[in-house]
Amino acid sequence: MVARHSAAPYDALLLVSFGGPEKPDDVVPFLQNVTRGKDIPVERLEEVGQHYYRFGGRSPINDLNRAFLAAIEEDFRGAGLDLPVYWGNRNWAPYLPEALRQMRDDGVRRALCLFTSAYSSYSGCRQYRENLADAVAEVGGGVPRLDRLRHYFNHPGFVEPMVDATLAALAELPAAQRNDAHILYVTHSIPHAMNDASGRGGPAAQTGSDRGGGAYVAQHVSVAAEITERVRQQTGHRFASELVYCSRSGPPSVPWLEPDVSDRIAELAKDGVPAVAVVPIGFTSDHMEVVYDLDTEARTAAEDAGIAFSRAATAGLDPRFVAMVRDLVLERAAVERTSEQGMPPSRPAVGSLQASWDVCPPGCCANPRGVRPALCGAD
């Protein structure tokens, strides 16, 4: 009999993240990694890198992941869960092959992967899966089998901290303007085609579409609606709200999800809206898209437009978000043991969509440039 709080058959957790530069000399090499295969001139990368140079050439993301990893380890210890935690990045040190070599050398046989992206899309899931496949191929024999934890956009451990963060952001606005404020839920923009392919092949109840696809937007809309309703229950007031985007890139000829958060702030100001609360539901921590696109650009847009601005915290190190990782590990471990022990585990989810799948279905979040090997899925 396996203990109820056992992670068996898994013997490790791998935190999989994007990575970021840690000093000015890292910026262009990092951006070359991110844009590999797109033949972007160094001069253009230097221009893009100004965002990083503005913050001393150091992205916050690696320090945030170090703190998150330490918090997960402490939570595991407190719960009596004996599971080592490793960390590998897609685009900067510590790289995924480095993490896999260490896991292999430590005798890890089967590991779960936590992606620091909560939603379905090519760039937020399948590309991670492709990078895992690349890393396994590079390291070669003896690497552990890797499985992915499910998307957690609608897990209570993610949503509840965002509800409290939204309430706190609203409380920061001037009392006379607060009830007329708009809540702007922000996520990373992606091309329309990438959204259309996100979740394709999965059941309609999980993608938010009768024909598959569109999961990226559908998942964000569901989370935004859930937070708005919980804020109404707490405050007695239903705030106007909408989903907006940041960090658009790529040629103007390619349509991306809109509106941009800064553009929308300017439009709302013209319509007489006195204040905005910006809530970064698309991000799990205060990395560059948050500290630059929101804390710098969007805040400046609000100041220029003459309206009040507040920004909600990300889930970050909230104990509920950290504990969510343990819940997902134990849930997936129990799923793997179900054939031996019977009843499947509960799969907590809030809002209009079901808990997401453990194994990505065929065609899920297809690579727009063609098929590549990917782990943790049916194809």
CB 242 within 8 A of CB 186: no
**Mean residue pLDDT across the chain:** 93
pTM: 0.95
CB 51 within 8 A of CB 292: yes
**Residue range 74-103, pLDDT digits in tens:** 999 999 999 999 999 999 999 999 999 999
Average pLDDT of span 135-146: 96
What whole-number distance in Å separates Cα of residue 162 and Cα of residue 321? Answer: 10
Phi, psi (rounded to 5 degrees) for 223: -65, -45
pLDDT at 39 (0 to 100): 74
What are the sequence ranges of the domains in the chain?
12-152+317-341, 156-311
CA torsion sign, 221 to 162 to 330 to 349?
negative
Within a 13 Å sphere around the CA of 190, how many CA atoms are in the beta-carbon half? Answer: 22
pLDDT at 250 (0 to 100): 78
How many residues in the chain? 379
CB 331 within 8 A of CB 345: yes
Residue 205 has pLDDT above 90, yes or no: no
**Residue range 273-313, pLDDT digits in tens:** 999 999 999 999 999 999 999 999 999 999 999 999 999 99
Angstrom CA distances, 214 to 207, 364, 378, stand at 7, 11, 19
What whole-number distance in Å separates Cα of residue 300 and Cα of residue 305? Answer: 8
Q: Per DSSP, which regions of the chain are E strands?
A: 12-17, 85-89, 110-115, 145-148, 182-188, 240-246, 275-279, 308-311
Average pLDDT of span 335-356: 85
As given in the structure block, the two tokens for residue 198 are 């996100």
Class of domain 12-152+317-341: alpha beta
What whole-number distance in Å separates Cα of residue 87 and Cα of residue 14? Answer: 5
**Can 12-152+317-341 and 156-311 be said to share one CATH topology?**
yes
Within a 13 Å sphere around the CA of 306, how many CA atoms are in the beta-carbon half? Answer: 4
Q: Which residue has the tokens 């609203």?
A: 170
pLDDT at 202 (0 to 100): 47
CB 130 within 8 A of CB 373: yes
Q: Is 137 helix (H, G, I), strand (E, B) or coil?
A: helix
Closest CA to 138 of 109, 179, 97: 97
CB 295 within 8 A of CB 311: yes
**Residue range 155-190, pLDDT digits in tens:** 999 999 999 999 999 999 999 999 999 999 999 999
What whole-number distance in Å separates Cα of residue 225 and Cα of residue 247? Answer: 23
CB 219 within 8 A of CB 205: no
CB 116 within 8 A of CB 87: no
Average pLDDT of span 13-26: 97
As given in the structure block, the two tokens for residue 133 are 């496949």
Beta-carbon count within 10 A of 252 CB: 7
CATH code that applies to domain 156-311 = 3.40.50.1400
First to last CA, the chain: 33
CB 300 within 8 A of CB 266: no
| Burial (0-12, 13-18, 19+ Cβ within 10 Å), 41 | exposed
| Burial (0-12, 13-18, 19+ Cβ within 10 Å), 260 | buried
